[in-house]
A and B are shown apart, each in its own frame.
Chain A
Amino acid sequence: MYSNGKTSTAGNEPVAGILPSGPLLRARGIAKSFAGNVVLHSADLDLYPGEVVGLLGENGAGKSTLMHILSGGLQPDAGTVEMHGQPTHFNTVLDGIEAGISFVHQELSVIGALTVAENLHLGHMPKTRAGFVDFQKMRDEAVALLNRVGAGGIDPRHEAGTLRAGEQQLIEIAKAAGRNPRLLILDEPTSSLTPHEVEGFFAYVRAARAAGTAIIFITHRLEEVLKLCDRLVVLRNGAIVSERRPAETTRQQLITDMTGKPAIYEYRERQIPDKTVALSLQRVRDRDHLEDISLEVRKGEIMGLFGLVGAGRTELLEVIHGARPLASGKIALFGTPVSHRDPSAAVRNGIALVPEGRKTAGILPQHSVRDNAAISSLRRFSGRLFSDLRGDVTRMEDYRDRLGIRMARDTQPISTLSGGNQQKVVFARALMVDPSILLLDEPTHGVDVGAKSDLYEIVAREAERGLTVLMASSEVPEILALCDRVAILSKGRLAGILSREEMSEDRILTMAFMEH
């Protein structure tokens, strides 16, 4: 089952999974700095065969640096790594793979133009006797691999680029599973999976654990690590601050470990005195997905929009924002009917969007922080001839302070900021429009716990000042933490609306599954 005899420790070594005691990997005093910034101080970590370790920490805590060092992608400044008690040194990622370490990165590296089967066999395609690729064998192996990770529904003959992000993620996991690693490192593997896919993936992780693989699972979703892991390791500011057993800890405790602060944002009871309807939808339909959605959001209200993948959350926001054509139905802003044929018209009318997918749809990666923040409001502040370049500087300072954006200079490329700070800049962009309606689509996706509660604080504060918010989210805790009401979508229909008093995780999920 394991790649045989390729490590330096092979020979008299028994099969790893059966080895009763002693860690598979022992890291001691690992330290790493980049350009004078200490990213890791002397981290110690032991990993045992057949154990799932949850690695938690905010962005920038040093998780990925530590994982890159363990897998050979980075060289530590100090410290030692032992495998099976033997000092080990990986010069490259390939050395790590040879020794049985597989790292599934957060960024997808599936090649879109190749089929799923080809992606799974990249670099080692089976050949027929004549020297051609053995497609039959490749497909059969692909089916087996996909089944192992709970992705049996994916056809290995499909082009990988046509698949959803979640399906591509499963292909990455299947690729790693195919190497039968001794140590499997998974960085945010579930962020784009449907609940059903998550179950299948968990089943694979449990099977791999039973077979003796050591697994490191990195995620921001605390419910998942509490459910799946045997041990939880928390990194903060480059040091390991706690190791806990899931049965003996709580969400609160873990958040405190990660942030150094006792609590994350909690729902604040508020009065919404203004009865004005800010946004109303009447029997809204698009061409293919949404059916007869009617909804009213009051001024200053935070309305949640919950649904499973494919329920139509993003599509509904796109229709309101003019990015997707309205096939029938009516949309009104403060009682005035509107029809936006382009997002530019919606933004002019005071509807701003923080889109899903920061990298693909949010940031302008080569642009500076300041230009990224300014792009939506250029026309609002422009003079007759020239753009208000000077005003951009002062507005950026203003929003940096208001939203707590951490950066060295506002002229640095936005891609050099952490994910949470990038997202705050996208928020600043939307708020600079001075919108009356703010649409949020998965606003805290892939953002660490600290930045998450900052973003919640920002949304709540703006709502208290009269901003109307419609927030699509696939995370129930997020809905519960922030929303005054929640509309639940299921397969393109409105399954129901729950008030604050009626809201609970159970009821929300039950309604979301209603038409399945």
Chain B
Amino acid sequence: MSQSLSIVRDLAKHREASVLVMLAAVAIYLAFASDYFLEPRNLLNVGRQASVVAIVALGQALVIIARGIDLSVGSVIGLSAVVGAILMRDTGSETIGLLGGLATGLACGVVNGLLYTRLRINPFIATLGTLSVARGIALLLTGGIPLPFGGFAEFVGAGRIYNIPVSFLLMIVLAIIVHIFAVKTVTGREIYAIGDNPKASRLAGVNIRSIRLFVFALSGLLAGLGGLILAGNLASADPNLGVGYELDVIAAVILGGTALSGGRGSIIGALLMALLNNAFVLLGISAYWQVVTKGLVIIFAVGLDGLQRRGDDD
């Protein structure tokens, strides 16, 4: 009895705990409210919906842990998909198309990183700029018209292995890799150090410029990957792909337990976001309510955590 109590207490110390509780609550409610929720097909659908947000959130989490923010990911998703589709169409090579799409994401991330570390533009502003520029380029390149997208990307975006969505499996693999990277490598540990106290880290010999550049580049690369998966899933590279994704991604990171002032990260938050999306579809509720509820969930989850930590400044 006392042991189980202490487990509860340990759980309560982590921000993930309140998200987990909410995740369970939504799932249990849906299990009763909808006949379809527990169907394997639907559960897998939830997994698929979660995967793009979660993959992009992996990069975003590292950026936020290092005290940055990347608002451009939604536009990078769109631009990468469009560039990938154009290269695929013009060269006829799927490999070039996919690599080109990833390179586009990486390039966007590097630009963000350079704007921050070399020109010393606040990352909020710098990535707000690239958000607009990248979306504009995607629209210019396509004239606003979606391009067909298929092949291997379609397999990753919409395919299954043993009935499990490929994108979901990819997300799990990437999450494990990023987690090990963050905790076990020197660069990963330095990312956490920078988020905790950038000045002290710099004076201690951490090359904060190159680390910051690296996290933004990685965030761009993963957003590029997310763009290819999303386009593959839809079999179409729409220049408006990923509009508004930055909010879902940042929300997922924050729900996952990363403080905006630097801290830890996890991908549970992305699952909750996907579950909520799914809930609205299954329950047949207006999409507008979906937007309202997402905001409320963030405020509630983070607010719960803030209440537990009260005493920091009052």
Contacts and interface: CB of A to CB of B under 8 A. Distances in A.
Contact of B199 (A361, A378, A382, A387): A361
Interface string B197-230: 1011111111101000000000000000000000
Interface string A422-455: 0000000100010000000000000000000000
Contact of B196 (A342, A366, A382, A433): A366
A364 B185 CA distance: 18
A429 B205 CA distance: 10
Contacts of A343: 202-205
Contact of A386 (B185, B193, B202): B185
B205 A365 contact: no
A389 B207 contact: no
Interface string B178-196: 0000001110111011001
B205 A364 contact: no
A12 interface: no
A360 interface: yes
Given A342-B207, A353-B203, A363 B197 contact: yes
Contacts of A361: 197, 199-200, 203
Contacts of A371: 189, 193
Given A343-B205, A387-B184, A389-B184, A364 B189 contact: no
B144 to A, nearest CB: 44
Contacts of A389: 184
B159 interface: no
A348 B205 CA distance: 8
A342 B204 CA distance: 11
Nearest to B180: A386
B263 interface: yes
> Which of A360, A382, A386 neighbours the largest number of chain B CB atoms within 10 Å of its CB?
A386
A500 interface: no
Interface residues of B, number: 22
Contacts of A382: 185-186
A387 B193 contact: no
Interface string A351-363: 0110100001111
B204 A387 contact: no
A323 interface: yes
Interface residues of A, number: 32
Interface string A307-327: 000000000000001010000
A344 interface: yes
A366 B263 contact: yes
A433 B205 CA distance: 10
Nearest to A346: B205
A206 B29 CA distance: 71
A94 to B, nearest CB: 14
B194 to A, nearest CB: 9
A352 B206 CA distance: 12
A375 B203 contact: no
A295 B237 CA distance: 64
Contact of B200 (A342, A346, A364, A378): A364
B186 A321 contact: no
Contacts of B189: 371, 374-375, 378, 387
A360 to B, nearest CB: 6
Contact of B204 (A366, A376, A385): A376
B185 A375 contact: no
A371 B185 CA distance: 13
Given A364-B193, A378-B186, A355 B200 contact: yes
Interface of A: 321, 323, 342-344, 346-348, 352-353, 355, 360-367, 371, 374-376, 378-379, 382, 385-387, 389, 429, 433
11 contacts: A343-B203, A344-B205, A347-B205, A355-B200, A360-B197, A361-B203, A364-B200, A379-B186, A382-B185, A386-B185, A387-B189
Interface of B: 184-186, 188-190, 192-193, 196-197, 199-207, 209, 262-263
Give 3 closest A-B pairs by Cβ, nearest first.
A347-B205, A344-B207, A364-B196
